[in-house]
Amino acid sequence: MKKKLMLMALSLAFVAGATVATAQTKVTLGTEGAYPPFNWIDENGDLQGFDVDVGNAICAAASLDCTWVVQDWDGIIPGLLAKKYDAIVASMSITEERKEKVDFTNKYYNTPAMFVRKKGSGIEINAASLSGKAVGVQRATIHENFLRDNYGEVVTIKAYATQDEANLDFLAGRVDLLLADSVALMESLVDTDDGKDSEFVGPEFTDPRWFGDGVGIAVRKGARDLRDTLNAGIAKIRADGTYNKINAKYFDFDVYGN
């Protein structure tokens, strides 16, 4: 008798779970929680970061009831496929390889590549001002390709094995400029004590030909309703200024790109 009751309760629980999932007003979002400034866990154990704020704003804009689940990066796509959560908002770049397993929304950011100069150097990002200047860049990166294709004729390119080495030579005055991902430069140089005399200069480069499709929200294949809802949410917060407020909270440049 007891066993039968247990079985009934169990099957009821499954049915209840199934109806909630199809109603699609409740959505569980998965993130990593270890990738500042996009997502991290603060000293009170609360989720913080750009991904988290954008995710919450999209949910509010699309009237979804969202809850967060924190998941180690290694299991983040398997967890989505096993329905532990319905969408991944964890700074996941849209790549062809991942598109075979999951569907992506439109991008919600694409951190631009930017130049960094010494304060007071007066260098501008145009052919005349750049002529004869030395630019440090990490070797075999999309940034080196971009630099060669666009400014290869006018500047001297100095390629380094790591970004840290390029930064050190920049601080030592051996190169006049650096070109790299804006957030990487902000974290490793511009926002640090060593780099207090450096600043971003010039336009934000996001051309997909060199820099890819940016970062989107991943959903399970075939979850068209959810993807469309999230896309509408992204469009709405872009249009009503919510996105720009969140952008300004974390970065002093535009991370959406063109």
Partner 1 sequence: MLDLKGYGWMLWQGLELTVLVGLCAMAVALAVGMIGAWGKLSRPGVGRGLAGAYTTVVRGVPELLLILLVYYGVPTLIQDVAASAGYDLIIDLNPFVAGVITIGVIYGGFTTEVLRGAYLAVPHGQIEAARAIGMDRTLTFRCVVLPQMWRFALPGLGNVWMVLIKATALISVIQLEELMRNADVAARATRLPFTFFFVASLLYLAITIVSMVIQQRAEAWANRGVRRA
> Binding residues for partner 1, per CB under 8 A?
14, 17-18, 21-22, 33-36, 40-45, 69-72, 74-75, 78-79, 81-84
Nearer to partner 1, 20 or 239 (CB): 20
Nearer to partner 1, 70 or 168 (CB): 70
Q: How far is the CB of 195 from partner 1 (least distance, A)?
A: 15
Q: How far is the CB of 42 from partner 1 (least distance, A)?
A: 7
State the SS3 of the chain.
Answer: CHHHHHHHHHHHHHHHHHHHHHHCCEEEEEECCEECCCEEECCCCCEECHHHHHHHHHHHHCCCEEEEEECCHHHHHHHHHCCCCCEEEEEEECCHHHHCCEEEEEEEECCCEEEEEECCCCCCCCHHHHCCCEEEEECCCHHHHHHHHHHCCCCEEEEECCHHHHHHHHHCCCCCEEEEEHHHHHHHHHCCCCCCCEEEEEEEECCHHHHCCCEEEEEECCCHHHHHHHHHHHHHHHHCCHHHHHHHHHCCCCCCCC
Nearer to partner 1, 74 or 96 (CB): 74
Nearer to partner 1, 36 or 202 (CB): 36
